[in-house]
Every structure is written in structure tokens, then in C-alpha cells.
Amino acid sequence: MNQKTFFKLLDKAFEKKKSVLLIGVHGIGKSQMTYDWAEYKAKQLNRKYIIWHQLSEEEKKKIIEEAEKYFAMIDIKLQSVGDPSKISGIPIIINHGNEPKIIWLPPLAVRFLTNPKSAGVLFLDEKNMASPSLQSLSFEIDLQRKVGEWAFSENVLIISAGNPLDVNISANPIPKPDLNRNLVIWLDVPDTDDWIRWAIRKEIDGRIISFVKLFGKEALYQHSEEELKQDTTPRSWELLSDMIKGEDDIEFIRVCAFGYLHEITANKFVAYIKSMYQLDYKRFLEDFEAFKELSPENQYAVLSLIAKHSKKIDKKKLVDFIIKLADFILEFSAMLIALCKVEYGKNFVIKEILTKIPKDLKGRIFYLVSGE
């Protein structure tokens, strides 16, 4: 499912006050897509986007008092919650004369969500890994949009997420009455081009982007049945990028790759990096015909190398190479510009590249990079 359709579904669920359940294997982006929608919705509503668990207790209290200014992403991992009181609140006994009275003290997140001026997302992750008591609580949230006596704001979207039972033996079936109260969205491994557009926005390491572009969907997901063996998922690549960005030490990259990826993917990626560093990118800037004769794997590797060194390359040579790429394979020129953006930022690309290429070519490249 592409991002446009996903955002449209969540927009409609938000408008109609419908709960949503995302089902898909781990690591394919259920959480990330939800976070991305929440950030987009905050901008649309002209509210400040906040991630609840990143705030201090004092910041949370202040935000509750000024709830109308914010759009909050509240992410709760149901499996790790343990006691339902961490969501439903705790009872406190107070005395009114001779008559004791029990009141419930809700956690700060619930105090925000139930403020009529609030807006945001309540994301209940690992739903079918939760205990029966927590699943019962989540059913109340889905069905009645409340916890105990506290009703959620009309501008809160409730989203749950879980794994298919056939890929997670520890998961519990979600009761049918709860399942039937949700818009169930089955998510597969993301489309390669959608993931690459996301990776460019998030400035994922350019070598990873070009590798995924080369090998497609098989580079984004690889499952292992063996215990203590890694799967390759979109999340794996994000984690690997954090570790290797700016690193050229092949042995360091190799250890990180095998630490985050399925061994088949890791072997391919390390081989790709090794072959990349054996290529002389300067030669291909001067001899485009030689570039055309390379294998697709080496062509993508050269694009990564040129992007990595683009700041010190003569800009006329770089722009001439991009124009030749567009005549050869338009997608290559778009990829090189995108990789330059990842390496040196938007301002560099606008000032040093986009202002120097023909207007019609610029439009076609922008469409390939943005999908719009």
C-alpha cells in the first residue's frame, strides 16, 4: 500500500471517529507510517507535533494545560505495559466526612487524550501480544472511545497494531468483537519507490538507498526461520544507516550489516560496498560511454560514489553528467540528485544542481523523486 492511500484511510478514520487496526509482519513500517501521518496531520491542523514519550513530566503537564496548541503521538507498547492500571489509572480513597469515596487518578497521557481541546493519535502497539486484561481494555477503547469514566477527545484517532499469527507464535488471536470494531488494514513490505522516497526524506545512508533501488523488494525483506538469526526489514536498514553513515571502514560496515540484516542480504550489501570502492568515479565523469558499459550494480555504485564526493566535483562536470544520465536513463539522474541531497542537503542541490539544469528536465526529475 502506498503512502497516499494509507494517509487517505487514516484521514477518513480520523474524520469519522473510527478505530484502525494495522496488521503486518514486524519491521515493515507500521509504526513509522503512523508517526508520519501524525506529523502530516499536525501540520494540516496547524498544531505543534509532539511525541509524548520524548517529553519530561513537567513538559507533559504544561501541554495538558495548553492542549489546543498540540497534536500528540502517544505510543503505548501493550505487551510491556503489564498492569492495565498504567492506562486506566489508579484508585484513590478520599474521605468526605464519614463517607469514604473512591476516585480514579488517570495517567498524564489519558489526561491529555480526554481533554476536549486535545488532538492526536493513541497508538496501541503489539495488540495481539497483550495479556487478556489489556486486550479487554483495548476493546473498550476501540468500541467506546474511553477509558473508565474518561471519554477521549473527538480529535483523537485510535490505532492499534499487531502481527499475523502465522509469523508470531507468541501472538494471541484478537477477539472477533474487537476485530469487527476496527478498520483492519493489512500492510505488506512497502513498495520500493515509496520506501526510497521516505529514505531520502529521512536521509538514510545513500549507499543503502542505491542498494535497495538496485535489488528492489527482496532487499527490503528477508525472513529467517533460525533462532537468533536476523530478518531484513525496512527498520533494519534504518538502524544500519544510523551506524554506518559517514563510515568507510569495510570491516566495521560488515559487522554492522550482519548485526542488523539477514545473512543473505548482508553478504550482498557488503559485496556491493566492496565493489563500489574499487571503482574510479572520476573516470566515468569524463567518459560517459564507459559508464554506460558498466553492469547495473556498478552503475548504481558509481552514482553513490559521485553523490558522496559531489561537493568537491566541478559543478559543470556534475551537471553535464546528470544531463547525460537523463538522456540515457532518466531515473538515474533523479537517483543521483536524490543521493546528493542525502549527502549534502536540499540547499546544496538547489543552488549547485537544480538551478543549472534545463527547466523541463528539472520537472521530470522532481516527479520521479517526489512521486507527485
pLDDT digits (tens, 9 = 90+) for 272-298: 999 999 999 999 999 999 999 999 999
pTM score? 0.82
> In this structure, are 217 and 125 located in the same domain?
no
pLDDT at 372 (0 to 100): 47
Return the bridge partners of 22, or none: 161, 185
Res 242: pLDDT: 96
- The CATH number of residue 143's host domain is 3.40.50.300
Q: 204 and 114 share a domain?
A: no
Residues 169 and 212 occupy one common structural domain: no
* DSSP symbols for 101-155: EEEEE--HHHHHHTSTT-EEEEEEESGGGS-HHHHHHHHHHHHHSEETTEEPPTE
Q: Are residues 78 and 107 in the same domain?
A: yes
Contact in structure between 347 and 355 (CB atoms under 8 Å): no
111-140 CB burial, b ≥16 within 10 A, e <16: bbbbbeebbbbbbbbbbbbbeeebbebbbe
Is 171 in the same domain as 210? no
**Where among 186, 208, 229 does a domain terminate?**
186
> pLDDT truncated to tens, each residue of the chain (372 aa)?
888 899 999 999 999 999 999 998 888 889 999 999 999 999 999 999 999 999 999 999 999 999 999 999 999 888 777 767 777 766 565 666 667 666 566 788 989 999 999 999 999 988 887 777 777 888 888 888 988 888 999 999 999 998 887 666 666 777 788 888 899 999 988 889 889 989 998 999 999 999 999 999 899 998 877 776 889 999 999 999 999 999 999 999 999 999 999 999 999 999 999 999 999 999 999 999 999 999 999 999 999 999 999 999 999 999 999 999 989 998 899 899 999 999 998 888 888 888 888 887 777 776 555 544
Same domain, 160 and 196: no
Q: Let me know whether 160 and 98 are in one domain.
A: yes
Query: Which of 186, 207, 225 is where one domain is finished?
Result: 186
Q: Are residues 175 and 32 in the same domain?
A: yes
Res 309: pLDDT: 93
Same domain, 236 and 284: yes
CA dist 62 and 227 (Å) reads 46
Domain boundary, last residue among 186, 214, 243 = 186
Same domain for 77 and 206, yes or no, is no
Q: H/E element holding 201? A: helix 192-201
Domain tally for the chain? 2
At residue 246, the 3 state secondary structure works out as coil
Backbone angles phi, psi at 228, to 5 degrees: 65, 20
173/254 same-domain check: no
Instruction: Tell me, yes or no, whether 178 and 222 share the same domain.
Output: no
C-alpha distances in angstroms, 119 versus 37, 58, 71, 223, 340? 13, 19, 5, 37, 37
Which residue range is the domain that position 325 belongs to?
192-370
- 157 Cβ contact partners less than 8 Å away, ≥ 6 residues apart: 10, 13, 14, 20, 120, 121, 122
